A and B are shown apart, each in its own frame.
Chain A
Amino acid sequence: MTESVFFLLFAILAAGGGIMMIASRNPVASLMYLVLTFFALSGIFVMLDAHFLAAVQVIVYAGAIMVLFLFVIMLLNLGHREEIDMRSHLSRLVALVVGSSLFAVVAALVLQGEKSSLASEEGTVVMEAILRSRGAVGAVAEPLFTSYLVPFELTSLLLLVAIVGAIVLARRRAP
């Protein structure tokens, strides 16, 4: 019961944040709404026994990536402009139709599906067992550093490349 209430709360926050994000005229406001969505999602992660990811979501997404976005918005002085950067009404209608149909199709697929291996009780029990034995971080760390070590190292390389690329792309050319 409480679970459902909390979930509903977080879900509404997430959904609302998303919609407001795309509807808002002010870029900074859009950004803030997105941050709200991320926080809500983080809460839902906790409810789904992905504690580590919940933390990482807040730290990385809300804390780093959104801050980066904000920096860029401020750098380019886009924050105060409230120009009409929405498309025509026809485009909005099309986007609405497309979005709704996409949602409808996927939702129908979800609800149609078999649920044998997705039983809540079983899933929760298994997850809790793992969490108890290794801890929240250890649950993710163990596969990460054993089976998926190579992708992990490659990801670090990727981040290095991204850093270098960002610097190169964004610097001023010498006059």
Chain B
Amino acid sequence: MNLDIENAALILSAFLFAVGTAGVLVRRNAIIVFMCVELMLNAVNLTLVVFSRSLGLEAQVLVFFVMAVAAAEAAVGLAIIIAIFRHYEGVEVDRFNLLRW
């Protein structure tokens, strides 16, 4: 098992992604869920950076874009959460189930 920095970083990335997934599954507060999504995005960023070493700098450009889009998404998402909060007086994810069958 070759545990150089690339591999280690990839394993860390996998770990962070798994943690983020577990967080989405286990937390009810919408904002916390959002933060877990950000964590997952970061894990992916880490993976991309690792691979940019061997596959070229385009990967880092992609990371750049990921960050930009994540920022935009965070802004809009939080705006939505604010709007929902005004309606529900609470941001538990379990209550947003209008799309049930």
Direct interface between A and B, CB < 8 A:
yes
Q: Is A9 an interface residue (CB 8 A)?
A: no
In the complex, are the beta carbons of A76 and B85 less than 8 A apart?
Answer: yes
How many chain-A residues does the 8 Å CB contact rule pick out?
Answer: 87
Give A87 to B29 CA distance when docked, in angstroms. Answer: 10
Given contacts A48-B49, A103-B18, A140-B57, contact A151 B65 (CB under 8 A): yes
Interface residues on B, range: 35 or more
Given contacts A15-B15, A103-B18, A158-B69, contact A86 B26 (CB under 8 A): yes
In the complex, are the beta carbons of A45 and B72 less than 8 A apart?
Answer: no
CB nearest neighbor in A for B19:
A18
Closest CB in chain B relative to A142 CB, distance in Å: 8
Give A60 to B83 CA distance when docked, in angstroms. Answer: 24
In the complex, are the beta carbons of B53 and A30 less than 8 A apart?
Answer: no
CB within 8 Å of A: which B8-30 residues: 8-12, 14-23, 25-29
Contact for B72 among A111, A123, A158, CB less than 8 A: A158
- A-facing mask of B1-13, CB < 8 A → 1, else 0? 1101111111110
In the complex, are the beta carbons of A69 and B35 less than 8 A apart?
Answer: yes
A-B interface, 8 closest residue pairs, ranked by CB to CB distance from nearest: A99-B22, A162-B72, A22-B23, A123-B53, A103-B18, A169-B79, A106-B14, A166-B79
User: Could you show 13 A-B contacts with beta carbons less than 8 Å apart?
Assistant: A27-B31, A37-B16, A48-B53, A65-B71, A65-B74, A95-B23, A95-B26, A100-B18, A110-B14, A143-B57, A148-B58, A162-B75, A169-B82
Q: A110-B7, A111-B7, A143-B57 are in contact. List 9 more A-B contacts (CB 8 A).
A: A15-B15, A37-B39, A45-B46, A76-B82, A87-B27, A98-B21, A118-B6, A162-B76, A165-B75
> Which residues on A are within 8 Å of B, measured CB to CB?
3-4, 7, 11, 14-15, 18-19, 21-22, 27, 30-31, 34, 37-38, 41, 44-45, 47-50, 52-53, 56-57, 60-61, 64-65, 68-69, 72-73, 75-76, 78, 85-87, 91-92, 94-96, 98-100, 102-103, 106-107, 110-111, 115, 117-120, 122-124, 126-127, 130, 139-140, 142-144, 147-148, 151, 155, 158-159, 161-163, 165-170, 172
